[in-house]
Amino acid sequence: MQRQGRASGQDANAEADNTAEADNTAEADTTAEAGTTAEAGMTAVAPADTVQPPFPDADLMYIVDLLPSDEQLRYQEVREFLQSRIRAASIDYWNREEFPFGLLAELGKYGLGGLQTDGTSKLFKGLMYVEVARADVSLSALVGIHNELIVGMIDQLGSEEQKARWLPGLTAFTQLGAFALTEPEHGSDIAGGLETTARREGGEWVINGAKRWIGAGTIADFALVWARDVADQQIKGFIVETDRPGYTATKIANKIGLRIMQNADIVLDEVRIPETNLLPGATDFSKANELLRDSRAWVGWQGAGIQLAAFDVARSYALQRKQFGKELARFQLVQQQLAEILGNATASLALMAQLARIQEDGKLEMAQAAMAKSTTTRLARASVAMGRSLLGGNGISSDYEMGKLFGDAEILYTYEGSYEINSLIVARAVTGKSAFV
Ligand SMILES: Cc1cc2nc3c(=O)[nH]c(=O)nc-3n(C[C@H](O)[C@H](O)[C@H](O)COP(=O)(O)OP(=O)(O)OC[C@H]3O[C@@H](n4cnc5c(N)ncnc54)[C@H](O)[C@@H]3O)c2cc1C
């Protein structure tokens, strides 16, 4: 399938090449006349707001073409919606740290609540994560956690009754779950250090403890709480409805990134749930670890998406903003930054496309997911820093989107296992030596 982006990219390329030729001639010739030619070349570039730049979707390596044609069509449809409806609208919500319930319903209409169970390919699901992140990183966190860790856990580890009760609302995005693993005193060492307890009393479980940073903790219908069974010391997964007595969630305010996502401090004080709220597939942590491996890979996709967003903003700005009488895009140092941001983004995408192949074959290991996550988020941090400087002072303001991306990149770098911990997982796999426990 020939995408519009590629076709117009080629046309515009031809135009750009002609212009470049005119510039070369000017450079070679030192006469005043040559100067005029150079100027003519400059004016040959149409204003950025009237003409789409070459490769408008920035997919230079045709990664999207790897999808089958039906998924390419769906991809284009969702991408268009995200760009037109979500991207600009998200900035105000981000500034106000407010959750856009209306936009969530629209994401649901485009099927983004059911990516885990709708049978689409791993590459399609990944590219959806890329495009949501490109429109807004907070909403991509919501979509990713929702699919990978909430729908995924219930679908794969839940009872038939739990699936029937929750999956229809979740996949339609009319209901939300929160994934509650991290605690105030345990982040990187959560698997060994988890302190929240579950005590069995008659036909009930009684949960006590505290959780920190829990996405959607204040707005979700239930939290998937990980607690240590006092009887056998195993970490188990429980569905805790958020209206149960003893459950309190307090929004964590003043975050520098992911400001739309409502992260919460949660206290569980003698919260009683029926024994049927235990996920039967999550009676120790090993199964959850498999899903956490996949969700780590999801952050790898986010790392690619945020860089494409940074590239979009940087390119558009460079084509419009003029200094010294010409567009920033005509200065070599600016061009280098654009090329580096896009190179980083494309390397990230290509890495993730290969990860999707491995995942499709059922061969994804934690070290590969950790490598993908740590690499794309490291590159993302570098890319948004370049984008930030390319916008000069305006790069500081979220009004120009780049400031928003700059803050959001910090979260990708740290959550789902910090950059350092993921690097240590990779290095452990290739040396056979653990440097962190
Ligand atoms: C915005 C946001 C959203 C989040 N959403 C959720 C969520 O929805 N659900 C959830 O359960 N959790 C969530 N988290 C938690 C997240 O996964 C943790 O923040 C992360 O795992 C790091 O844990 P920590 O913050 O306790 O840092 P710590 O573990 O205290 O680490 C602090 C620093 O020490 C380093 N470090 C720690 N141990 C070692 C070691 N052995 N060797 C070298 N360096 C080390 C780390 O790399 C890091 O740089 C979220 C976090 C944030 C910031």
Residues 105-111, mean pLDDT to the nearest whole number? 95
Please check whether residue 397 lies inside any domain of the structure.
yes
> Quick one: pLDDT at residue 165?
98
Q: Is the pLDDT of residue 50 over 60?
A: no
Q: What is the per-residue pLDDT across 381-391, written as a single tens digit (0 to 9) for each?
A: 999 999 999 99
Q: Mutual orientation of helices 285-320 and 402-414 as an angle, nearest 10°?
A: 160
Please check whether residue 142 lies inside any domain of the structure.
no
Residues 309-336, mean pLDDT to the nearest whole number? 98
Position 116 confidence tier, pLDDT thresholds 50, 70, 90? very high
Q: Is the pLDDT of residue 192 over 50?
A: yes
The domain of 192 spans 177-283
Residues 19-42, mean pLDDT to the nearest whole number? 36
Q: Taking CB atoms and a 6 Å cutoff, what residues make up the pocket around ligand 1?
A: 145, 179-182, 187-188, 213-215, 255, 258, 263, 411, 414-418, 420-421, 436
> Quick one: pLDDT at residue 61?
97
Domain shared by 198 and 266, yes or no:
yes
Domain shared by 291 and 425, yes or no:
yes
Residues 14-32, mean pLDDT to the nearest whole number? 38
Q: How far is CA 146 from CA 101, 154, 158, in A?
A: 15, 11, 15
Q: Is the pLDDT of residue 31 over 70?
A: no
Rounded to the nearest whole angstrom, what is the distance from the C-alpha of residue 258 to the centroid of ligand 1? 15
Residues 311-322, mean pLDDT to the nearest whole number? 98
The percent of residues in the chain predicted with pLDDT above 70, rounded, is: 89
Domain shared by 199 and 300, yes or no:
no
Q: What is the per-residue pLDDT across 254-297, written as a single tens digit (0 to 9) for each?
A: 999 999 999 999 999 999 999 999 999 999 888 888 899 999 99
Please check whether residue 154 lies inside any domain of the structure.
no
Domain shared by 192 and 274, yes or no:
yes
Please check whether residue 162 lies inside any domain of the structure.
no
Q: Is the pLDDT of residue 95 over 90?
A: yes
Residue after which a domain boundary falls, among 238, 260, 283: 283
Rounded to the nearest whole angstrom, what is the distance from the C-alpha of residue 2 to the centroid of ligand 1? 43
Atom of ligand 1 nearest to the CA of 418: 47
Q: What is the per-residue pLDDT across 366-383, written as a single tens digit (0 to 9) for each?
A: 999 999 999 999 999 999
Could you give the 3-state DSSP secondary structure of residue 334? Answer: helix
Please check whether residue 131 lies inside any domain of the structure.
no
Report the Cα–Cα distance between both ends of the chain, in Å, rounded.
Answer: 50
For residue 185, the domain's CATH number is: 2.40.110.10
Number of domains observed in the structure of the chain: 2
Q: Please tell me the distance from the alpha carbon of residue 372 to that of residue 362, in angstroms, as a whole number.
A: 16
Closest to 406 (Cα-Cα) out of 88, 82, 137: 137
Domain shared by 347 and 394, yes or no:
yes
Domain shared by 224 and 345, yes or no:
no
Cα dihedral value 351, 152, 364, 126, nearest 10: -20
Q: Is the pLDDT of residue 150 over 90?
A: yes
> Quick one: pLDDT at residue 290?
87
> Quick one: pLDDT at residue 437?
84
Rounded to the nearest whole angstrom, what is the distance from the C-alpha of residue 183 to the centroid of ligand 1? 10
Task: For ligand 1, pick from 143, 145, 182, 238 the residue to mutate: most ligand atoms within 8 Å of CB.
Answer: 182
Q: Is the pLDDT of residue 15 over 80?
A: no
Q: What is the per-residue pLDDT across 250-266, written as a single tens digit (0 to 9) for each?
A: 999 999 999 999 999 99
> Quick one: pLDDT at residue 285?
87
Q: Is the pLDDT of residue 11 over 60?
A: no
Position 49 confidence tier, pLDDT thresholds 50, 70, 90? low
Residue after which a domain boundary falls, among 265, 283, 301: 283
Please check whether residue 171 lies inside any domain of the structure.
no
> Quick one: pLDDT at residue 72?
98
For residue 412, the domain's CATH number is: 1.20.140.10
Contacts of residue 197, defined as CB under 8 A and 6 or more positions apart, other chains included, come to: 207, 208, 209, 227, 228, 229, 230
User: How many residues are present in the chain?
Assistant: 437
Please check whether residue 121 lies inside any domain of the structure.
no
Rounded to the nearest whole angstrom, what is the distance from the C-alpha of residue 144 to the centroid of ligand 1? 18
Please check whether residue 190 lies inside any domain of the structure.
yes
- Cα 238 to the center of its chain, rounded Å: 26
Position 51 confidence tier, pLDDT thresholds 50, 70, 90? confident
Residues 338-345, mean pLDDT to the nearest whole number? 98
Position 337 confidence tier, pLDDT thresholds 50, 70, 90? very high
> 93: how many CB neighbours lie within 10 A of its CB?
18
Residue after which a domain boundary falls, among 283, 304, 320: 283
Domain shared by 311 and 410, yes or no:
yes
